[in-house]
Structure 1
Amino acid sequence: MDSSSTSSRFRFRDLPEMENSTQSDTASDASSVVSSDRDDDSDLQSMTGRGIKHLCSELLELKAASNGDFHRHIFANYSSFIRVFEEVGRVERELLQLRNHVSTQKRLVNDLVDGIYSKVLSKESMDSVIEESEWDEPLLISELESHKNDVLETLDILLSENRIDEALAILELEDENFQRMQFEEDCPLDELRLFDSAISERKGLLTQQLTMLAENPRISAAELQKALVGLCRLGDSHLATNLLLKYYHSRIASGIHKLKASKSLLDRVYIRELSKFVFSKISQAARSFVMLYGETSPYAPEVVKWTRQETKVFAACFDEYVKSISEISGGLSTAVEAMQFAISFCCLLETQRLVLQPYLIKHIRPCMEDVLNIHLDHFTKVIGIFTATDTWVLGRYLVSGIMNEQCSSMVVGQQPEYCLLTNSGRKFVTLLQAITVDVSPLLSLEIEGSILRGLMNLFKKYIDILERAINCETTVTEKSSSRINLAESVQQQVSILSNLSSLEQLFSNMVRSIFKGASDTNSELRKSHPGGYQPKEIDGCIFFIQEASLGLRSLFCEQFINKVMSLKTSYKLPEICIDGQGTVSRTEETRKTF
């Protein structure tokens, strides 16, 4: 129903009644001239209200009628729209069938033409050899043209429908045909080159499709492998390798980002999960490469370069983690534990002929050396703390109680099981033992020289403290030097020298036990690293400690002689009596003096 008719039907239908009402009201107003002004105002307001209500009801009726008409139009036209949509789909299917039918008819016509030409040529006599030769080349050209059109049309359909495997099969077959036909004498080379150019163009389109598929960030590993196999079949192995490495690089980068977001750097589980994730992805990339090119194929240079780059990326994350370890207590052991996790997962790749351990060690060695030096500097302060309260009194300590079992059989002062040490000496040996337990795994990083120098500096620091204790006349002026108990009596000084002698023996055996067999491990690898461990460094370290110990003994002897030579004149020289048999004897007074 039309809206105009609806409007006309409802608009002002009660107008006569309103006029009658107005006329009656006017008449009543004329007759009642004696009414008050208040009654007049109320009558006007009631008339206006009735008019407004009337208009509102009419507008609501118009709105309801309009909505009804709108819905009826929609329901009436919806079925027509559906029929048109279905008709368009049917027309498209008919066009596709018609296209296939046309191509089939075209192929049949070409086959019929070729058959007619062959029959005509077979009936001609030998006298028309010249004419036959004139028809020969156009016939071959028409056969190649027909074949070209059919192949290109089929390829276009397959590419539009994303039927990659079928398109690859046709392209491989046409490559074989091209290799065979270009050596035939009666084949038109110009047409053949045009056909090969058209095939190359389709190859480019298929390569572009496979590349876009491989670069899709949501592609699965199986789909990626299928796309890369297709690129290898097209002869673009270099592109396939690059896409493979790009895929796994993006997976490693996103995995590292997610792991950093989910776990704190202070969490020990972080570095273990990171090592496992990164090297497992490198392993997966290596397996994918083997699936593409076979077990016997060596890794391409770009694959080897990529694995080293990813190892460097992991080393940067490892360095960040190690630097985040701020606590001194347990920090070295935590860093060593992280290093062991990294190396253990890295070594698993050797079963796949990927030796990345040397490159990993090369990049994590600097940060591990920094951690080692920081903790060794801290231990020098610890030595100053526990020697400040030593009274320089010797005690007998069981060797196996302060050393490991490898050193328990050493002989010190004719006592195979005990050694004489002061309180600070016992604590110093215990500290050295704890340090060696932590730093022993660092030998795999080829930083034996740094470890030796660190232990040697700690021992030299302790000897310096003992020297200050013996040299009682020296006053400590440096604020950084801790106060110690001076060894004022000869007995205390002798205790210090005995303590030093035991420490020298223990330190020598400890160092040799740490580096036992180190000179025979990876000897060829160590030759290429001049800064690495050399067996002569152990002898040099021990010789340095022996010289420092000998210097302390010389200082004691010098001070003792000076004391003896500076005795007051009240002391009598010893009276020596020689009997008839040549025996030397001292008087009782002399013996008491000494």
Structure 2
Amino acid sequence: MSIGDSAELESKLSLSDRLKEFKSSQFDPDAYLMSKCHAMTEKDIKHASSHLMDLRKASAEEMRKSVYANYTAFIRTSKEITVLEGELLSMRNLLSTQAALVHGLAEGIIPDSLSAGPEDPEEEDIYDVESTKLTKTDKWFVEYLDNIEVLLAEKRVEEAMAALDEGEQLAKENKSKHTLSPDTLLKLKNALTVLRQRLVDQLAEATCQPFTRGAELRKAILAIKKLGDGPRAHTLLLNSHQQALQRGMQSLHPSSTSHGGSAFSSGLSQLVFSTIAQAASDSLAVFGEEPAYSSELVTWAVKQTEAFALLLKRHVLASSAAAGGLRVATECIQICLGHCSLLEARGLSLSPVLMRLFKPSVELAFSANLKRIEQCSAALAAADDWVLTYAPVGSRPFSSTSLSISQPKLSSSAHKFISMVQDFLEDVGPLESLQLDGPALEGVLRVFDSYVNLLINALPGSMETEEQLEGTGSKIVRVAENETQQMALLANASLLADELLPRAAMKLLPLSQSNNRVDTTPRRGSDKQSRLPEQREWKRKLQRSVERLRDSFCRIHALEIIFTEDGDVRLNSQIYISLDGNAEEPEWFPSPIFQEFFEKLTRMASIATDMFAERAIEAVTETGIDPYSVLPEDDWFAEVAQIAIKMLTGKANFSNMDRDTSPTASVSAKSISSVLSHGSN
């Protein structure tokens, strides 16, 4: 009979009949396999494999049906077994305790009773009474230990502590009352030590659980402290808060966007410093202001702050600093300092720790931002048409003090330059605690000097050689071809140095107050006064950069008149000899080269009047005064000049001069004060 026929025959049998052979206690798997697989072909092996798979499925189905049919009984039996195991464990513990007590009592009492017996009936009665008392004490001792075991098993902490206190009190009273034998007293003390340690370990394990928070945590820590292990209790308190902090961090995910970075910084900062604040509050509530615990708290808080700062640097500050994102770094630091300042009322000053760790990243973003301003300015100067216009619609105003102040006219690159500088200074302003005011002003001076170099290179026929351009890192810029464009270069530099940059730098002046400034280390009055000379020197350096542009401007135009395009000198003795041959001009008339020079100056004066005088007229107009009612006619200036010459040469004096000569004599004091106040701004 083949294996296939055997399988077909067995398939017709019931499941219990098919499994009967396997249930036998004498079943031998090896013999069964050899009997079935002896001289089997490949087809028989496949049939056997299929047969075994069917048996396994049938067995699993039979087990499932059996479990479902007896599920209620199975659950009830499991519960009963669990209860029975607990009872057996309790009985074993009690029996072990009883055996230990009996063994100890046997060793302590029986030798004394065997060593000496009572000599008379009275001594025998006394011995029986004392033996009875000792037996009662030992019985109490057994019940006492049994009670504490139950309290510990049921985690009734307060009652267990009360029972331990009772045992401690009994041990102290035994010195005077002698209610316990020396051996029993020693066992009691040893048992109290072991039980106290067990209770401490039980409470320590509870503090590590996530659900132990708030009042429950403080209660457990206070219990450990009362049990005589204060240092461990304080360490467990801090560890519990650290574990809660780590669990909270797992729910925060950093984002690569600037908005996401700020959200991550805010969430992480609030989590860290609120956890530190709660730990400080719990420490103060349980341990008071003991120096040892306060020192451990400060050390722990500094460690958590350092870990927080490193995490923030890795996920937010590092990438933003490398990209020049100073604003992101500023926002993160402002958020952190805001949360950190709330801890100062608890005596925890963690701001210096943050500043020490954040400063390298901020300085990196600081440098990258300045470099970006230089690069953007160079790119814009290459496409600037050097035409003065108002700022584009929608751009930020140059003054935050008054919306009525007119916006100045600048070329497109200058508009973008001052806008980037204002953004930069606004980002640096809130970081006064990092003492970046001085480096920020120096950085602005450096980028302005770089921008002035671009303006110099925009002058036609600049004396800068290609070698000098490569050495100074200058960029190729669009040349200002006509005189109007060249005057626009001067207008850009002078307006930036005289008004716009000093006005933007007011955000960093120590005497000014900013609402959004977070300064954890305010400057003293002496520090503020010491900065004033530095500010004046900074403004002088701005003017020196402008003077370089003016010098290049004047030199180029002067050389343009003195030399020809071929490089020949036009200003020589021959021009004066040739004057004798020109009968149309008198001898005293200027030479042609100076006539040309005068025409050039006249044209430039006209252009400058349109550019610079217009700014003065607009400034006066914004004060509510008609400038034409204040400023005199041009003839007045010529008349006053003649009077001044006479007075300087001694041909006249102040006594015989008309005092109504002043053009502002009829102007009201109010108007004058308005003009002066505007000028002071």
TM-score between both structures, scaled by the size of structure 1:
0.65
Q: Give the whole-Å Cα distance in 2 for the aligned partners of 1:574 and 1:187.
A: 140
Aligned to 2:315: 321
Q: Is 1:63 the equivalent of 2:17?
A: yes
Q: Is 1:264 the equivalent of 2:267?
A: no
**Partner letter of residue 504 of structure 2?**
M
> Counterparts in 2 of 1:227-246, with a 5 A limit?
227-246=220-239
**Per the alignment, do residues 183 and 456 of structure 1 end up closer, same or farther by CA in structure 2, a change over 3 Å counting?**
farther
Aligned to 2:632: none
CA positional deviation for 1:502:
1.6
Q: Give the whole-Å Cα distance in 2 for the aligned partners of 1:57 and 1:421.
A: 100
Aligned with 1:164 (options 127, 132, 157): 157
Q: Give the whole-Å Cα distance in 2 for the aligned partners of 1:508 and 1:496.
A: 19
Indicate the SS of the match to 1:259. coil
Q: Is 1:207 the equivalent of 2:200?
A: yes
1:45-71 CA-partner distances (Å, limit 9, x unpaired): 9xx9xx98998699659828969x999
Aligned with 1:451 (options 407, 426, 440): 440
Q: Give the whole-Å Cα distance in 2 for the aligned partners of 1:418 and 1:359.
A: 43
> Counterparts in 2 of 1:175-214, with a 5 A limit?
175-176=168-169, 178=171, 195-214=188-207
1:144-195 CA-partner distances (Å, limit 9, x unpaired): 8776555444333433443322111122344455556658899988975664
Q: Give the whole-Å Cα distance in 2 for the aligned partners of 1:271 and 1:317.
A: 10
Q: Give the whole-Å Cα distance in 1 for the aligned partners of 2:239 and 2:250.
A: 17
Whether the 8 Å CA contact 1:472–1:487 is kept in 2: the answer is no
Q: Is 1:384 the equivalent of 2:373?
A: no
Aligned to 2:277: 283
CA positional deviation for 1:89:
5.4
Whether the 8 Å CA contact 2:457–2:464 is kept in 1: the answer is yes
> Counterparts in 2 of 1:86-165, with a 5 A limit?
151-165=144-158
**Per the alignment, do residues 389 and 142 of structure 1 end up closer, same or farther by CA in structure 2, a change over 3 Å counting?**
same
1:27-50 CA-partner distances (Å, limit 9, x unpaired): xxxxxxxxxxxxxxxxxx9xx9xx
Q: Give the whole-Å Cα distance in 2 for the aligned partners of 1:61 and 1:440.
A: 87
Indicate the SS of the match to 1:483. coil
Q: Give the whole-Å Cα distance in 2 for the aligned partners of 1:151 and 1:328.
A: 70
Whether the 8 Å CA contact 1:140–1:188 is kept in 2: the answer is no
Q: Is 1:592 the equivalent of 2:595?
A: yes
> Counterparts in 2 of 1:540-579, with a 5 A limit?
540-559=537-556, 566-569=569-572, 571-572=575-576
Whether the 8 Å CA contact 2:506–2:512 is kept in 1: the answer is no
CA positional deviation for 1:319:
0.9
Aligned to 1:254: 247
Indicate the SS of the match to 1:375. helix
Q: Is 1:342 the equivalent of 2:336?
A: yes
Aligned to 1:433: 422
**Per the alignment, do residues 282 and 396 of structure 1 end up closer, same or farther by CA in structure 2, a change over 3 Å counting?**
closer
Aligned with 1:404 (options 382, 399, 404): 399
**Partner letter of residue 549 of structure 1?**
V
**Partner letter of residue 401 of structure 2?**
Q
Aligned to 2:613: none
**Per the alignment, do residues 587 and 239 of structure 1 end up closer, same or farther by CA in structure 2, a change over 3 Å counting?**
same
What RMSD in Å do the two structures reach over aligned CA positions? 5.4
1:247-295 CA-partner distances (Å, limit 9, x unpaired): 22122223323323xx534334333322222223223323332442359
Q: Give the whole-Å Cα distance in 2 for the aligned partners of 1:222 and 1:255.
A: 19
CA positional deviation for 1:304:
1.4
CA positional deviation for 1:233:
1.6
**Per the alignment, do residues 215 and 161 of structure 1 end up closer, same or farther by CA in structure 2, a change over 3 Å counting?**
same
CA positional deviation for 1:377:
1.0
Q: Give the whole-Å Cα distance in 1 for the aligned partners of 2:364 and 2:321.
A: 14
Indicate the SS of the match to 2:401. helix
Q: Give the whole-Å Cα distance in 2 for the aligned partners of 1:91 and 1:336.
A: 62
1:294-351 CA-partner distances (Å, limit 9, x unpaired): 5999962111111121111221121123246469999433333333333333333345
Indicate the SS of the match to 1:405. coil
Q: Give the whole-Å Cα distance in 2 for the aligned partners of 1:440 and 1:423.
A: 26
Number of equivalenced pairs: 492
**Structure 1 stretch 416-425 or stretch 457-466: which is displaced more?**
416-425
**Per the alignment, do residues 179 and 469 of structure 1 end up closer, same or farther by CA in structure 2, a change over 3 Å counting?**
farther
Whether the 8 Å CA contact 2:224–2:230 is kept in 1: the answer is yes
Q: Is 1:499 the equivalent of 2:487?
A: no
Whether the 8 Å CA contact 2:457–2:476 is kept in 1: the answer is no
CA positional deviation for 1:376:
1.8
CA positional deviation for 1:425:
2.8
**Per the alignment, do residues 434 and 190 of structure 1 end up closer, same or farther by CA in structure 2, a change over 3 Å counting?**
same
**Per the alignment, do residues 206 and 498 of structure 1 end up closer, same or farther by CA in structure 2, a change over 3 Å counting?**
same
Q: Give the whole-Å Cα distance in 2 for the aligned partners of 1:535 and 1:139.
A: 96
Bigger radius of gyration among the two: 1
Q: Is 1:472 the equivalent of 2:467?
A: no
1:328-384 CA-partner distances (Å, limit 9, x unpaired): 999433333333333333333345443323322322222122122212211110010
Whether the 8 Å CA contact 2:384–2:412 is kept in 1: the answer is yes
Q: Give the whole-Å Cα distance in 1 for the aligned partners of 2:7 and 2:521.
A: 108
Q: Give the whole-Å Cα distance in 2 for the aligned partners of 1:294 and 1:54.
A: 85
Whether the 8 Å CA contact 1:265–1:324 is kept in 2: the answer is no
CA positional deviation for 1:519:
9.8
CA positional deviation for 1:504:
0.9
Q: Is 1:461 the equivalent of 2:450?
A: yes
CA positional deviation for 1:403:
1.1
Whether the 8 Å CA contact 2:433–2:520 is kept in 1: the answer is no
Aligned with 1:358 (options 352, 356, 368): 352
**Per the alignment, do residues 242 and 487 of structure 1 end up closer, same or farther by CA in structure 2, a change over 3 Å counting?**
same
1:447-501 CA-partner distances (Å, limit 9, x unpaired): 2233223222211111221232346132445576432133566665454334322
Q: Give the whole-Å Cα distance in 1 for the aligned partners of 2:86 and 2:276.
A: 53
Q: Give the whole-Å Cα distance in 1 for the aligned partners of 2:6 and 2:249.
A: 73
| Structure 1 stretches lacking a partner, 5+ long | 1-44, 107-127, 410-415, 576-584
Indicate the SS of the match to 2:155. coil
Aligned with 2:218 (options 208, 213, 225): 225
**Per the alignment, do residues 536 and 588 of structure 1 end up closer, same or farther by CA in structure 2, a change over 3 Å counting?**
closer
Whether the 8 Å CA contact 1:389–1:484 is kept in 2: the answer is yes
Whether the 8 Å CA contact 1:387–1:424 is kept in 2: the answer is yes
**Partner letter of residue 595 of structure 2?**
K
Indicate the SS of the match to 1:63. helix
**Per the alignment, do residues 560 and 523 of structure 1 end up closer, same or farther by CA in structure 2, a change over 3 Å counting?**
farther
Q: Give the whole-Å Cα distance in 2 for the aligned partners of 1:422 and 1:206.
A: 80
Whether the 8 Å CA contact 1:397–1:421 is kept in 2: the answer is yes
Indicate the percent of aligned positions where both proteins have the same amino acid: 24
**Partner letter of residue 254 of structure 1?**
R
Whether the 8 Å CA contact 1:469–1:485 is kept in 2: the answer is yes
**Partner letter of residue 312 of structure 1?**
E
**Per the alignment, do residues 53 and 391 of structure 1 end up closer, same or farther by CA in structure 2, a change over 3 Å counting?**
closer
Aligned to 1:120: none
Q: Give the whole-Å Cα distance in 1 for the aligned partners of 2:454 and 2:315.
A: 36
**Per the alignment, do residues 141 and 421 of structure 1 end up closer, same or farther by CA in structure 2, a change over 3 Å counting?**
same
Aligned to 2:30: none
CA positional deviation for 1:563:
5.3
TM-score between both structures, scaled by the size of structure 2:
0.58
**Partner letter of residue 547 of structure 2?**
L
